[in-house]
Structure 1
Amino acid sequence: MDAHPDERRSAKGKPWLSNRTDNESAKMATGKGVIQGYTGVAAVDAKTQIVVDAQVHGTNSEQELLLPVVEAVEPFRTPNTTLCADAGYHSEANLKALAEGGVDAYICDNDYRNRDDRYAGQASYKDKPDPLWDKRKVVKKARCFRPANFTLAEDCPHCVCPAGNKLYSNGSNCTFNGYVAMKFRGAERDCVPCPLCDQCLRTPDTTKTRQVAFFQGKRDSEVRYAERMKRRIDSDTGKRMITARFATVEPIFGNLRNNKRLHRFTLRGRAKVDGQWKLYCLVHNIEKFACNIYA
């Protein structure tokens, strides 16, 4: 990499893998495998379904594309404008930049459907290779005892394992990935001869004692914009905003892909592909204006 300092690099500093015929494109992971191409993004007005900004980038990371679009639509925003984006644009850095810029936004995370009762049982409706295949996740039984199987004492000096032995505190104010936790470890005199050792330790031949941690929540001193956004998404307003996003932008992509037959870009080079993407979005806008005029 040092021999080619001018290579295009990702946010993590790694060079983009490209090819000789179109060095501005990037490898994309799709449902049909890995292809060489571009990512087309569009900002759409919720009231009129008019595309107010369209961009093409040679990257497979949508997270890097949110802020350029937000900056591009600034002339169209008012103090009452709210932005909404899907989970591909969700990252701590993006949410921090939006919060510091005073931009009102709702950007869902990858797990928001699992927290929303409206999507319960959705896995059974996904595409299946045959009618008898059900893609719902199979809940696997834990091989070892989980922290929920241990009982924490009222004053928290120890906890009790399923065998009735005490595990003693070896860390009352620890931090794991921003979470506050209390750690407890068992004594060798209790764990080694314990009849439930195989159910408690993953490797009883090499590990003599069990350790367990009880998490108490996030540390207040750490600002986690992702946690704040999760609370916004899970609110009644957030759920309405996410539903409104589906009805706003997804029909545009469906129109361009199915009605306009834009199944793939036919040009090479970012400038040409960007022009092709903008042209299709322009045709969509013309149709929308015509429908509004003659409606």
Structure 2
Amino acid sequence: MSKPGKKVHNQVVFKEYNQNQLSLPIDLECLIPPNHMVRVVNSALDQMNLEPLLAKYPGGGRSSYHPVMMTKLIVYAYADKTFSSRRIEKAARENIMYMWLCGGNSPDFKTINSFRGERMKDVLVEIFSEVVELLHKQGYIKLENYFLDGTKIEANANKYSWVWGKSTKRYKEKLREKCRELFEFVDLANQKENEEYGDRNLEELGEEKPIDSQAIEEAVKKIDERLTQNPKEKKFIKVKRVLLKDYLPRMKKYEKQEELLAECNSYSKTDTDATFMRMKEDAMKNGQLKPGYNVQIGTENQFVVGYSIHQSAGDTSCLKEHLEELKKNLGGKLPANIVADAGYGSEENYEYLAQENLGNYVKYNTFHKEATAKGKPDPTLVQNWLYDKQKDEYTCGFRRVLRFKYIKTQKSKRGYRSTIRVYQSDDCQDCPYLKRCIKQSNNPDFKKQIYINPKGNELKAEARANLTSEYGLKMRSLRPIEVESVFGDIKGNFGVRRFILKGLEKVKLEWGLHCIAHNMRKLAVVLG
């Protein structure tokens, strides 16, 4: 005989199964465990000032889903590894965590995508700043040590649809040469110069004005004027056809490409903001360039405190721009100490850190090469050579003297100027270590030259003193644990190795959501 409330089939006892039986609890919240991540997201966003988001709604028209609910939905979805708007829509209908968070609302994927791409785009940085402020108020971060690093993430773009800046410049110059030849063929160039400059020659006028699309259009007008006088002139008819159907469209295309390139050296046709870079994830191991973005983040206690997206592949040029953006988001202040690897060590960056009175724990590229594995100085490295200040000359590790020759100025891509002092040896040909020191040792006339940046060396010395101090050693040991673990969580655990959205602004939005989501996951772990 079966027990009450049980069903027996062939002596096997099953639990009661009745789909029409009402059961408690009716409230979904009772089914959600304490300190679950959905509660953390809900509580955190309830404490934030989301007025900038509310201000995006001008009023009037049909009623909209509440922006706070939509923000909670998208932030929790990203924290739950759900990035597709269609999957978020499905979860809002079927998953009790999402259903409770939405309060019974179930926006469709178009609404979700529109809210994410349009409403949140201009205010996400402010929402992220609110998250950072909340973490600071609750004591999870102190804004004391800022660990900075970058990574490359592939863009949502065709990797075979590239445009290279050098190629565009070369093709444009070839086209200009063809235009000059064609202008000379129909005697347009001389006529135009005479009309514009009179008797003055090119030496008086300076450099020749480069041919562009406007110059081609003016040439076509001149041809039209001649054709009104002689409509059957075959030479002008042919030249006009070539200019209008071939040269002018190509010139406009190259000018458009240069406009899109701006300061970049390349871009993808399917995402014109993406630059071709070498990725760490190189499946073919052939160094293939892929369209992507340079993502910079700064962390403290493994929470993301700041982020920025760059089109430049090198980290060196990103530090100043990143910290300026961070300062703006933190209300005009910066963390006390900046900790970064050798990719950021430059005179320009060190000078910026000094101007901002920031602790400099940033390595430079020769930091680990200034001594051999046995701890002995490497005689081929300039930083280990003797310098006579009175004579202003260096003595290399092999006892050869290099005397001062001249001063030159170096200019970085960002326009920063460095003063370089050049020193040269008298003769190195009889040195037994010649081949070890000079790659061009087969050239009998070659003399060893070194380029010394006094100001840069002084700033490097300060950085080295900081890095080798007791506190500096601690910061160096924490840096890979801090920022690399965050990249590992976002890229490894949550598979963010390729952006979904296209364009610099939308990529900033997407990465900002990933950073907020990471902070929510980290907060849930701390509270749990």
TM-score (norm 1): 0.62
2:310 equivalent in structure 1: 57
Report the AA paired with residue 34 of structure 1: L
Please point out which of 364, 367, 380 is paired with 1:109. Answer: 364
SS of the residue 1:105 aligns to: strand
Q: CA deviation at 1:241?
A: 1.5
Give, in whole Å, the separation in 1 of the partners of 2:320 and 2:455.
Answer: 26
SS of the residue 2:463 aligns to: helix
Give, in whole Å, the separation in 2 of the partners of 1:53 and 1:203.
Answer: 51
1:27 equivalent in structure 2: 276
2:265 equivalent in structure 1: 16
2:497 equivalent in structure 1: 263
Task: Kindly name which structure, 1 or 2, has the bigger radius of gyration based on alpha carbons.
Answer: 2
Report the AA paired with residue 519 of structure 2: N
Please give the per-residue CA displacement for 1:198-235, whole angstroms capped at 9, x wherever unaligned.
9999448x55xx9678x9x9686776423432343344
Q: CA deviation at 1:102?
A: 1.7
Q: CA deviation at 1:51?
A: 0.7
Report the AA paired with residue 486 of structure 2: I
1:93 equivalent in structure 2: 348
Q: Does 1:290 align with 2:486?
A: no
SS of the residue 2:295 aligns to: strand
Report the AA paired with residue 296 of structure 2: V
The answer to whether the 8 A contact 2:345-2:362 is kept is: yes
1:232 equivalent in structure 2: 466
1:139 equivalent in structure 2: none
SS of the residue 1:106 aligns to: strand
The answer to whether the 8 A contact 1:43-1:69 is kept is: no
**1:1-295 alignment to 2 at 5 Å?**
4=255, 6-10=259-263, 15-31=264-280, 32=282, 33-45=288-300, 48-74=301-327, 75=330, 81-115=336-370, 173-174=404-405, 183-185=425-427, 202-203=441-442, 224-294=458-528
Report the AA paired with residue 16 of structure 1: N
Number of aligned residue pairs: 231
The answer to whether the 8 A contact 1:40-1:56 is kept is: yes
1:176/1:103 CA distance change after superposition, 3 Å: same
The answer to whether the 8 A contact 1:66-1:94 is kept is: yes
1:125 equivalent in structure 2: none
1:182/1:279 CA distance change after superposition, 3 Å: closer
Please give the per-residue CA displacement for 1:154-209, whole angstroms capped at 9, x wherever unaligned.
xxxxx9xx9xxxx9x8x7555689578684449xxxx9xx9x9x9999448x55xx
The answer to whether the 8 A contact 2:360-2:466 is kept is: no
Give, in whole Å, the separation in 2 of the partners of 1:35 and 1:220.
Answer: 38
Which is further off, 235-244 or 90-99?
235-244
1:183/1:230 CA distance change after superposition, 3 Å: same
Q: Percent identity?
A: 21
1:147 equivalent in structure 2: none
Q: CA deviation at 1:293?
A: 2.3
1:65/1:111 CA distance change after superposition, 3 Å: same
Which is further off, 221-230 or 265-274?
221-230
Structure 2 unmatched runs, 5+: 1-168, 170-209, 213-254, 283-287, 375-379, 381-394, 409-419
The answer to whether the 8 A contact 2:340-2:361 is kept is: yes
The answer to whether the 8 A contact 2:424-2:447 is kept is: no
1:181/1:44 CA distance change after superposition, 3 Å: same
1:290/1:7 CA distance change after superposition, 3 Å: same
Report the AA paired with residue 53 of structure 1: G
Q: CA deviation at 1:236?
A: 3.7
2:44 equivalent in structure 1: none
The answer to whether the 8 A contact 1:28-1:37 is kept is: yes
Q: CA deviation at 1:79?
A: 8.0
Give, in whole Å, the separation in 1 of the partners of 2:341 and 2:523.
Answer: 26
Report the AA paired with residue 337 of structure 2: T
The answer to whether the 8 A contact 2:326-2:334 is kept is: no
Give, in whole Å, the separation in 2 of the partners of 1:212 and 1:282.
Answer: 53
The answer to whether the 8 A contact 1:106-1:238 is kept is: yes
Higher fraction of helix? 2
Q: CA deviation at 1:247?
A: 1.5
TM-score (norm 2): 0.37
SS of the residue 1:40 aligns to: strand
Higher fraction of strand? 1
Please give the per-residue CA displacement for 1:77-106, whole angstroms capped at 9, x wherever unaligned.
868721111222222211111212222221
Please give the per-residue CA displacement for 1:61-84, whole angstroms capped at 9, x wherever unaligned.
222221122123332786872111
